[in-house]
Amino acid sequence: MTKLKLMEQKYYDFMNDIAKDDLLEGLLGYGMFADKIPPIFTSLPLYNFCKSTGYTWTSKKDFSSISYESIRNISVPRILSIPHPAAYVNLCKYLHDIWPYLQKHFFEKTKDQSFKVSRVHLRKMKDTKELFEMNYTNGFKDGYPETDISIGARYIVKADISNCFPSIYTHAISWALVGLTEAKANQTDRSKWYYKIDYYTRAMKDNETHGILIGPHSSNLISEIILCAVDNELTSKYKYTRHIDDYTCFASSNQEAEEFLLSLSTTLKTYGLALNHKKTEIISLPAPSDKSWKTVLNNIQLQDTISISELKRYLDTAIELSKSNENIAVLKYAIKVLSKKTFSDKVKDYYFKRIHHLIIIYPYLLPLIEENVIKPLDIENERIKSLSDDILEDGIKYRRYAAINYALYFALKFKFKLIETDFIGMSKKCEDCVFMVLSFLYDKINNPDNIEQYKEIALKLQADIIDMDKYWLFIYEVLTKDELLDHQYKALKNGRVTFIKTI
């Protein structure tokens, strides 16, 4: 076996870099809203309020969460969640309190790794207090183990966990932390610290034992507790990396590849998880990298000040590669590369028209557009409005609320009116809480006569003890302190807590 290079930083080093207070601020202040949701929401005022007052939510009830359908490049949307603030405050505070125990867990489960197996996890990042970003890498600290562990390999194994976050069994958190024997022996002792992390995780999701929320950054930490324990059972025998729930293993023989899949499947089962057999494959080496499309794009020479012919060739190639690879990451990568280029007015005009066209076809590009097109190219409001109107019309036609939400967000951010739309009527019929909040904010500026109708909707939802948690953000932002029934909501209002950014 080829000796592996020492990695620059161990997994547990990344965890030890995070102080308890940094963990609380990162999770509670910056990790409540998923980055696929229009970036008009914030939990920083909630964190600041809790920090300054020592506030803890005293309710013992379990909470539902807000569901949000994120647009994907496949027909099935991904359901993201916005946790109830009570459940999220309590979980984040408890994770803060037991952080030394969790740091010890990560040390014990990863100390023998010759390279960092898990590639996507909580970490301190430059120029931000956020602790999690899906595609963040630091080559100096993370290293590049794939090149080393591929030496001597004749096969590569691709595998992932079936429906990972929704399948996580919350009792398995304790199993991973202290072992199955101790966890089961003390399963009725609610004073145990590992029981409480299970309890607060369940409280985020109606006390359900199956599934953790997709969206809040706390869920990545919870999943890593279990998946690092799985890694601990496998890394002494197999050479692989893991990107959350995606595994890439390098094997010297087909037999070793099969053994890895069997070992992985068996170990996952002990924690109530299973492999997604539809996405499992063993590939004979050498084989093109699954990122070979990136090489093709990088081989296209682009000047710092790009011409129309260069831009057209680059975009056409990216679209072709995206289709042939069935991978939206190609177009996302291309847009990010182009965001660093300089455009003449003529080229900018051409580029934005292409982007306008692409977004209507591929609305899952919307979360990238503000930071990678609108801002760097300084796109005029008139053109953003034209794009937003088309997004709105298309979204209404196909009932894509996630796209409509971006049209509303752009209208709020860049201060223009959208084409005439009955947002209050739509709010009365739909079940998308984020849309309802954005519609309220938009009509508050552009159709203030509708505000009383939004209040009526919020009051009706507040009276529904079964579903009110699923609309907590709408209820909280629409109603005044005196109209709110929950005394802890009133306390937040007194503290001037809002979940809406000033934009």
Domain spans of the chain, in order of start: 11-32+83-284
Label residues 201-214 b or e (16+ Cβ within 10 Å = b): bbbbbeeeeebbbb
Please state the separation of Cα 51 from the chain's center in Å.
Answer: 25
Read off the pLDDT of residues 256-285 as tens digits, 9 standing for 90 and up: 999 999 999 999 999 999 999 999 999 999
The enclosing H or E element of 243 equals strand 239-243
Taking the alpha carbons at both ends of the chain, their separation in whole angstroms is 55
Give the list of residues 6+ apart from residue 101 with CB closer than 8 angstroms, or none.
177, 193
Radius of gyration of the chain (CA): 24
Closest C-alpha to 169, from 241, 99, 106, 229: 229
- Alpha carbon distance 502, 482 (integer Å): 23
| pLDDT of amino acid 466 | 87
| pLDDT of amino acid 74 | 55
- Provide the whole-model pTM: 0.94
Going by pLDDT thresholds of 50, 70 and 90, the confidence category of residue 5 is very low
> What average pLDDT does the chain have?
94
User: In the chain, what percentage of residues exceed pLDDT 70?
Assistant: 97
Read off the pLDDT of residues 110-120 as tens digits, 9 standing for 90 and up: 999 999 999 99
Closest C-alpha to 7, from 147, 123, 193: 147
- Under a CB-based contact definition with an 8 Å cutoff, are residues 193 and 98 in contact? yes
